[in-house]
Amino acid sequence: MKKTLLIASLILGIIGNAQTILSETFEGSTFPPTGWTRSNTNATRAWDFTNVNFTSGSTLETTFKITGTKSACVDWISSTNTAILASPTFSLATASNPVLKFNVKVGWSYMINQNAGNLTAQVSTNGTTWTNIWTEDTEPGFIDDGDSNADTDLYNTVLVQKSLATYIGQSNVQIRFRYTGADADAVSIDDVQVLGSVLATDEVTARPKANIYPNPTKGEFTIQGDKKIKSSTIYDVLGKQIIKFNTEKVDISNLPKGTYFVAIDFIDGTSVAKKVIKE
């Protein structure tokens, strides 16, 4: 049991110091918040606070405010609009188990059932190429209230949590929320956080050293440690055990491309975890 907990903590970074890498509650006095940027194709429909007087007026604030005194939102409009809200850059160079969390409100009828608009969360490491990591179309938390009236949706709040483990080691990470619509519906987000953990100084110095090469790898790699290695276990980014080896040479050629963790056990009872990327 103790060994299982140790390996889990190594893989998930729980033994490190909790770290808030990015946090935005949209409670400031100016929009966008410091470091954030916005753009929109319709001049009257940018991301803004819920208490800004859009067409929907006070209804927008009442329906789409999530927490606190205001949230970030885009109001609907009958013409087309693409509106983007992008975070400042942040580093995941020393983070482990990074997770993006945010609260979101979307109307089921117009945005999902009729698919008149889309809201996505995206990630970039260069500010140019963006990858979708979440979309409202596949979010099961948004539900129909069953009254067959598109204008009386529940507009329930959903807490989204998405792993950013793929971006571990990157120092110029950004997230953005991209809204597209044409006579769709308003949407709102709030409490945006990127959470992770970093190793404490004493943990870094106390741990045995180990290197993996080549890394990234096409499949085969070698573990080189400062102590004799007893075994190594491969885990996926969710902490699920995949396969175990009893040699310094490891072959993961049969695994899909992606990020994995190697829990390395030494004969003296110590352990260390390393990240490996399969190309």
pLDDT tens for residues 122-153?
999 999 999 999 999 999 888 888 888 877 77
Write the DSSP assignment of 72-93 as a string of letters: EEE---SSEEEEEEEPPPB--S
Same domain, 139 and 265: no
Domain count, the chain: 2
Using a pLDDT cut of 70, give the percent of the chain over it.
86
Q: Residue 203 pLDDT > 90, yes or no?
A: no
Of the residues 173, 197, 221, the one at which a domain ends: 197
Task: Please tell me what DSSP assigns to residue 143.
Answer: -
The band of 239, judged by pLDDT with boundaries at 50, 70 and 90, is: low
Residue 130 is part of which domain span?
Answer: 18-197
Same domain, 252 and 127: no
Is 10 part of any domain?
no
Same domain, 112 and 55: yes
Q: What length is written for the chain?
A: 279
Q: Residue 97 pLDDT > 90, yes or no?
A: no
42-46, 100-104, 115-119, 194-198: which range is least confident on average?
194-198
Residue 222: closest CA among 213, 231, 234:
213
Report CA torsion sign: 135, 12, 88, 70.
positive
Is 224 part of any domain?
yes
Cα separation, 187 vs 41, in Å, equals 16
What CATH number did the domain enclosing 81 receive? 2.60.120.200
Q: Is residue 59 within 8 Å of 73, Cβ to Cβ? A: no
Q: Is residue 263 within 8 Å of 11, Cβ to Cβ? A: yes
Mean pLDDT of 43-56: 85
Using a pLDDT cut of 90, give the percent of the chain over it.
52
The band of 166, judged by pLDDT with boundaries at 50, 70 and 90, is: confident
Q: Residue 25 pLDDT > 80, yes or no?
A: yes
Same domain, 112 and 187: yes
Beta strands in the chain (DSSP E): 17-24, 37-40, 48-49, 72-74, 80-86, 96-106, 117-124, 131-135, 157-163, 174-182, 187-198, 210-213, 220-225, 229-235, 241-245, 249-251, 258-266, 271-278
Same domain, 192 and 218: no
Please tell me the predicted confidence (pLDDT) of residue 152: 75
Of the residues 197, 228, 252, the one at which a domain ends: 197
Same domain, 193 and 215: no
Cα-Cα-Cα-Cα torsion 252, 100, 59, 106, nearest 10 degrees, comes to 10
Mean pLDDT score of the chain: 85
Please tell me the predicted confidence (pLDDT) of residue 198: 53
Cα separation, 274 vs 209, in Å, equals 10
Q: β-strand 258-266 against 229-235: which pairing, if any?
A: antiparallel
pTM above 0.85, yes or no: no
Is 168 part of any domain?
yes
In the numeric block, the tokens 């969710």 are attached to 238
Q: Residue 82 pLDDT > 70, yes or no?
A: yes
The band of 56, judged by pLDDT with boundaries at 50, 70 and 90, is: low
Q: Residue 48 pLDDT > 80, yes or no?
A: yes
Mean pLDDT of 73-81: 94
Please tell me the predicted confidence (pLDDT) of residue 6: 43
Mean pLDDT of 8-34: 74
Same domain, 60 and 180: yes
Is 6 part of any domain?
no
Is 35 part of any domain?
yes
Same domain, 193 and 214: no
15-24, 111-120, 143-152, 265-274: which range is least confident on average?
15-24
Please tell me the predicted confidence (pLDDT) of residue 225: 84
Helix (H), strand (E) counts: the chain: 3, 18
Please tell me the predicted confidence (pLDDT) of residue 136: 95
Please tell me the predicted confidence (pLDDT) of residue 52: 85
Same domain, 92 and 227: no
pLDDT for 174-190, tens place per residue? 999 999 999 999 999 99
Of the residues 174, 197, 220, the one at which a domain ends: 197
pLDDT for 244-278, tens place per residue? 888 889 999 999 998 888 888 888 877 777 888 99
Same domain, 157 and 34: yes
Please tell me the predicted confidence (pLDDT) of residue 199: 43
